[in-house]
């Protein structure tokens, strides 16, 4: 069976620890996803991200260290269940935090694959705006 992945890269002019907190704490996630967030961020626990009139996602936290945060979708719309979202935090040559994002395990490249590609691209720019300037913007409206 074929597996498809989304990939995005964004460079963030913020402290590594601040970017990491935005990916691993309820307050941080709410700041850039603009979802109602529940969960504690511990490996093995779940995030529940509820987007008002939009979808609700349940993500099992499978990795959470200084340079990698990974979640597995356990509940969500369409083909999202079973996919894995991974954020790799590195440093680019100018010293900014480089977030390389992969959303892997899609069974095909149709349906929600294309929608999620667009949405994750926008959300990573929300992550950058939130961690650099404290700016928040809704992912779903």
Can you give the pLDDT at residue 52? 86
Can you give the pLDDT at residue 139? 61
Write down the domain spans for the chain. Answer: 4-133
Going through the chain in order, the beta strands assigned E by DSSP cover 4-12, 36-38, 46-50, 56-64, 68-75, 84-91, 97-106
Alpha carbon distance 123, 100 (integer Å): 13
Instruction: Give SS3 for 51.
Output: coil
Topology, domain 4-133: Alpha-D-Glucose-1,6-Bisphosphate; Chain A, domain 4 (3.30.530)
Each residue's pLDDT, cut to its tens digit, for the chain (141 residues) gives: 568 999 999 999 999 999 999 999 999 999 999 889 999 999 999 999 998 888 999 999 999 999 999 999 999 998 999 999 999 999 999 999 999 999 999 999 988 899 999 999 999 999 999 999 998 866 655
Can you give the pLDDT at residue 136? 80
Instruction: Give SS3 for 114.
Output: helix
Are the CB atoms for 32 and 46 separated by under 8 Å?
no
Can you give the pLDDT at residue 140? 59
Which stretches within 4-134 are classed as H helix? Answer: 16-24, 26-33, 112-133
């Amino acid at each position: 069976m074929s597996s498809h992945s989304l990939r995005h890269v964004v460079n963030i002019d913020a402290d590594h620890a601040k970017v990491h907190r935005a990916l691993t704490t309820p307050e941080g996630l709410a700041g850039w996803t603009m979802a109602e967030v529940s969960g504690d961020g511990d490996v093995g626990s779940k995030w529940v991200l509820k987007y008002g009139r939009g979808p609700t996602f349940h993500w099992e936290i499978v990795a959470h260290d200084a340079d990698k945060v990974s979640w597995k979708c356990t509940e969500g719309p369409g083909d999202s269940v079973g996919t894995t979202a991974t954020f790799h935090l590195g440093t680019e040559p100018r010293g900014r935090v480089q977030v390389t994002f992969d959303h892997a395990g899609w069974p095909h490249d149709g349906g929600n694959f294309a929608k999620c590609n667009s949405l994750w691209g926008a959300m990573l720019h929300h992550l950058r705006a939130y961690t650099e300037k404290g700016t928040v913007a809704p992912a779903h409206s």
